[in-house]
Amino acid sequence: MSSQTSVNPALVEWTGHQGLPRFDAVKDGDFASAFDAALAAHEAEIDAIAGNSEKPTFTNTVTALEIAGDELSRVSALFWNKAGAHTNETIQGLEREIAPKMSRHYSKIGTNAALFSRLDALWEGRDGLGLTLEETRVLERHWKGFVKAGAKLPKAEQERLSAINEKLAGLGAQFGQNVLADEKSWALLLSDEADLAGLPDFLRDAMAAAARERGEEGKYAVTLSRSIIEPFLTSSARRDLREQAFNAWVARGANGGKSDNREIIRETLALRAEKAKLLGYGNFAELKLDNTMAKTPEAVNDLLMTVWKKAAARAAEEEQDIAALIAEEGRNHEVMPWDWRHYAEKIRTRKFDFSETELKPYLQLEKIIAACFDVAGRLFGIKAVEQKGVPAYHPDVRVFEIRDRSDKLVALFLGDYFARSSKRSGAWMSSFQSQHKLPLKNGDVGELPIIYNVCNFAKPAEGKPALLSLDDARTLFHEFGHALHGMLSNVTYPSVSGTGVSRDFVELPSQLYEHWLTVPAILREYAVHYETGAPIPQALLDKVLAARTFNAGFNTVEFTSSALVDMAFHTRGAVEDPMAVQGDVLSEIGMPKSIVMRHATPHFQHVFAGDGYSAGYYSYMWSEVLDADAFAAFEETGDAFNADMAAKLKGNIYSVGGSIDPGETYKAFRGKLPSPEAMLKKKGLAV
């Protein structure tokens, strides 16, 4: 990559198993010099493309841009993986430096007048270039990217936009680090048996392991990891402890001191509003929605409010049921947020005669992983072969080869399933390398996708299996659906590979994949008791399936309120007090006192730890409209694994990435665009 001997070649020359990085050969101290060298190398490549004396062609300009920056992509992939999944103070310090430095780098590219001139000439003459549909989409993506980077702005405004982007990058990095700091610093340590009242064995084991990690052997730690906090709020009989834990959970990012995110939010919203105005948009939401299926904030809010009204009405009925149970127990308190999960679980147990505790022994992590792979095999003809002993970025991470029916290697997959204090919360899919078919400088043609999933399941005690909740199992299927989107990609150009699609389409492959978890044939085979090996009893299976829409009002109110607040922030522009805006929006829509947003603003990482889902949190629901309709296509055939539908699904959704307009590719699969009715029916909210 560079003549600088200080750069560790393992960062950019991936010589591990089947082209994996040599994770074991990379040290935290290697990244700073590697970034400097990779940024310089990419800048030189860009200058060469921009300064090419030949007339611009698709090959010498767009294709050249597509393969430029390979070293930077590799260093970045390794670094951002580490920053999210296994961070430390060294990495966090570097993250605060690298985020604005990368923003500066890409702002400089985006305002390179000579380079934009070449792209603009190609864009204006695109009809005469004989481009394929994919090539046209790639050209459009580059051209629009430059326009949104300020390529058409006067110099002074370009400089201001660059400064805004750099500042936003630093704010986003700090926001995420602050949330992680609050999550790491808080734990409720319990030791008395009375404090553990109601807690099932699997949760006690997870809490004991969390306490051990904190050096508190013999105690039990309630942490702010969802895999512990949610089951604690569900099962704990101690209302006072539930309240204490819940308040800590919802206060992340708003505790005062160095980790408080409220000023970061105010500054972020002001800068985003200014950025949108510079680029000629009425607000930041219009900017973000410009290249999506939804197109406008009005379309988003129309969908959200349609669903909100139905969800709020259902939640009111659910709250009445909870209040009645509280009264039945002889208590006289109102329904508060730290009560909901606890009493909802009691009602579900009574109504459907089963509880999460009863179901959990049948949901072993190992078996659910196997179920994920089996569904992929039945639908798409691929298999996963685990590679024991291959080093990854953490000892818990597992490596799999993904092979097709002819045993050809089509992808590498890494699974990182357990919570740890060095990992940010939540679950996500990302890639070390995306699929494409272009010739590279080293003589290779194309690259194999290297995809990874990160989850935060509670790690079991030594020798015990990891048991999942139904929500955990859905999360695993969801993230593997994203992984399949990356692994089944079959395009030529990397910028439209895999998940390189519009934000409100990217959740379709993941949310759709969740449906196969509860296909009876899958549950019967893989939901087996961890001690006896007995399959889930048919009676329990029937109850699980019957209860799928239970608590739908609560779940949908949690989500939709968060999405509405996100849209309000990014349509109202700069605001002096974001928390007041959050309060106003929730008041306007009639948010129940007994439910809180799924992600309160100070820890809303989708929206403020970077801008990936800013003005875009709605996209989970937009995609849910699509996924409910898409799975209905299989149901209409009477076969959840119908081969013809599976082939259409792979050919039109999972393999085409962003090479085709999402509306067109969905119609190619389904024959029409969907309405929200299938989604409302799936949620149990249809009249």
Catalytic residues: 479
User: In 3D, which of 453, 498, 501 has the Cα closest to residue 477?
Assistant: 453
Supply 684's token pair: 């149990």
- How many Å apart are CA 521 and CA 638, to the nearest integer? 13
Task: Count how many Cα atoms sit within 13 Å of the Cα of residue 341 in the half-sphere of its side chain.
Answer: 21
- How many Å apart are CA 368 and CA 372, to the nearest integer? 6
3-state SS of 281-341? CCCHHHHHHCCCCCCCHHHHHHHHHHHHHHHHHHHHHHHHHHHHHHHHCCCCCCCCHHHHH
Strand partners, 418: 457
Distance of CA 167 to the CA centre of its chain: 23
Task: Count how many Cα atoms sit within 13 Å of the Cα of residue 604 in the half-sphere of its side chain.
Answer: 33
- How many Å apart are CA 56 and CA 43, to the nearest integer? 19
Contact between 314 and 551 (Cβ < 8 Å): no
Contact between 653 and 334 (Cβ < 8 Å): no
Helix pair angle (662-670, 619-635), 10° resolution: 20
175-200 burial, b at 16+ Cβ within 10 Å, e below that, comes to: bbbbbbbbbeebbbebeeeebbeebb
**End-to-end Cα distance, the chain:** 62
Q: Please, which residues have CB within 8 angstroms of residue 10's CB and are 6 or more apart in sequence?
A: 21, 22, 25, 26, 30
User: In 3D, which of 492, 508, 509, 369 has the Cα closest to residue 434?
Assistant: 492
Find the helix or strand (DSSP H, E) in which 450 lies. Answer: strand 450-457
Three-state DSSP class for 202? helix
Contact between 435 and 448 (Cβ < 8 Å): yes
Q: In what order do the strands lie in the sheet with 383-386?
A: 383-386, 398-403, 409-418, 450-457, 428-433
Report the 10 Å Cβ neighbour count for 386: 13
Q: Please, which residues have CB within 8 angstroms of residue 55's CB and are 6 or more apart in sequence?
A: none
- How many Å apart are CA 161 and CA 104, to the nearest integer? 10
Contact between 224 and 183 (Cβ < 8 Å): yes
User: In 3D, which of 347, 341, 313 has the Cα closest to residue 553?
Assistant: 313
- C-alpha distances in Å from residue 107, one per residue of 8, 100, 644: 27, 10, 46
Rg for the chain (alpha carbons), in Å? 25
- C-alpha distances in Å from residue 535, one per residue of 369, 473, 527, 530: 16, 16, 6, 10
Three-state DSSP class for 56? coil
